[in-house]
Amino acid sequence: MITFAFQGLLNNQGPNVVLDIYYQAGNAFIDGLNPYDITLVRGPFGQFKNSPFFALLMAGMSKPESQMTVVRLWVLLGMSTCIIALNRWYRLSKKKPLYIAFAYCAALLDLIVSLSANQSNALIVGLALLGIAEYRDGRYFWSGVLLMLATNLKPYPIIFLFSLALLFRPNYWLGAIISGAILFVLPAFFVGWPQNIDTHLAWFRVLINDSNGIHIMDLVATLYRAKHSTLALILRWCLIVISTPLLFLYLPLSHFVGNKINWRVWISIGLTSIVLLSPRTEVFTYVVVAPSYLLLTSWFADRNNRTLQLTGGVGATCLALAIASCRFIDPYWHVSESPFQLIRSLGAFGLWGIAVAIIVNDLVRAFRGAGNRTGGSPIVRPCKVA
């Protein structure tokens, strides 16, 4: 972790265009301007899309004497948060199958790709994983706080924030509401209420417009470039129709029938769905799906069935390596519009399919078992936590 985290120190890395956009947006926000309009001159791909709170964090960081320090701390923060979050979900403390090491390396490679671009995705996915881990461990208040923080920085984790809210844990709601209120109010102390409210409204408009804007490297965009437009639309609707109920109903249904929650696989469905459906997905966004490399392979590694352990674990690892190795195979790996990047989208779609199959099988077996215990109708038992 230390070796990778200090790549900025080792390579003398400075701020790139991503941090420049963050700096420009932050300074515009502090100066009473609309950060989304100011950065729009860079084009739709270069427009600032993060929250006003994120802009506040970045304000004033563009001083030349502090740029190198900011980059190093930014890399360290993103790397550390993501690694600590992965450690909450799977610890390499016992002898594991060899493919776990390859899956872990694949996740690190995509993490480095994102951090080399100074992006915030590593920090955001790390916070989201930590928030879900807090919920799993019964610390509902801090789960709400962390997931609201992650969602406020960038909207990707909103699917997890809403999904966990459906179980109606009062402390979770309390943490999310308090955190959301603080994150909304805090910028007003620096820019005033009118500027704060106007900027939040502008942020919501940008997010709505962006959902109908130019697609970069989601599943639809990559299949369109490969001249498979009909297949792209079919797979997109399959993703939406299947992922939505599984993401939002799996936890309540598991609670209803007293089934053990398969957290690692459920998270993998959410992460892969984000990457495959978000119009803002690009090469550097694949750090969002990177944790699922380890989450899925570790789930297979923990199975007692030797055949399932090997075939499933090796299959998921091969997909992870195919996604992460694109940067070494494609000379233009950093160009998200490269046709070769179809491998990334198809690899993520494969991981999504594996996770969906596991969850569906889990639910079917749970309902059958509950029905057998009660003569045909599910029985309500306390929800077990994995």
Under a CB-based contact definition with an 8 Å cutoff, are residues 196 and 144 in contact? Answer: no
Domain boundaries, the chain: 214-386
Question: What integer pLDDT is reported at residue 57 of this predicted model?
Answer: 86
- What is the chain's length? 386
Tokens of 76: 């360290």
- How many CB atoms sit inside 10 A of residue 117's CB? 18
Hey, what are 31's tokens?
């100066």
* Residue 278: both structure tokens together: 């978000």
E strand spans, 129-230 = none
The predicted structure's pLDDT at residue 79: 86
| Backbone dihedral angles phi then psi of residue 228, each to the nearest 5 degrees | -125, 60
How many whole angstroms separate alpha carbon 340 and alpha carbon 9? 32
Which of 131, 130, 128, 133 shows the shortest CA–CA distance to 144? 131
Using CA atoms, how far apart are residues 203 and 249, in angstroms rounded to an integer? 29
What is the DSSP track for 297-353?
HHHHHT-S-HHHHHHHHHHHHHHHHHHHTHHHH-TTTT-TT-GGGHHHHHHHHHHHH
The Cβ of residue 229 has, within 10 Å, a number of other Cβ atoms equal to 12
Q: b vs e for 6-17, b when ≥16 Cβ sit within 10 Å of the residue's Cβ?
A: ebbeeeebebee
pTM of the shown model:
0.91
Residues 6+ apart with CB under 8 A from 224: 215, 232
pLDDT of residue 379: 45
CA distance 169 to 140: 7
**Angle separating helix axes 98-116 and 67-89, nearest 10 degrees:** 150
Distance spanning both ends of the chain, measured CA to CA: 27
Write the CB contacts of 26 (distance below 8 Å, at least 6 apart in sequence).
35, 55, 56, 57, 58, 59, 60, 61, 62
Cα distances (angstroms) measured from residue 116 to each of 84, 210, 252, 283: 19, 25, 39, 12
On whether the CB atoms of residues 252 and 166 are closer than 8 A, the answer is: yes
pLDDT score recorded for residue 371: 60
Distance CA 71, CA 287 (A): 18
Give the pLDDT of the chain (386 residues) as one tens digit per residue. Answer: 555 555 555 555 666 778 888 888 888 898 888 999 888 887 777 788 889 999 888 886 655 556 677 777 788 888 889 989 999 998 777 788 899 999 988 998 898 888 888 888 999 999 999 999 999 999 999 999 999 999 998 899 999 999 999 988 999 999 999 999 999 999 999 889 999 999 999 999 988 887 776 788 899 999 998 888 899 999 999 999 999 999 999 998 888 777 788 999 999 999 999 999 998 899 999 999 999 999 999 999 999 888 999 999 999 999 999 999 988 888 888 888 888 899 999 999 999 999 999 999 988 888 777 666 555 544 444 445 44
Distance CA 125, CA 50 (A): 14
pLDDT of the residue at 386: 45
Contact 270, 132 (CB under 8 A): no
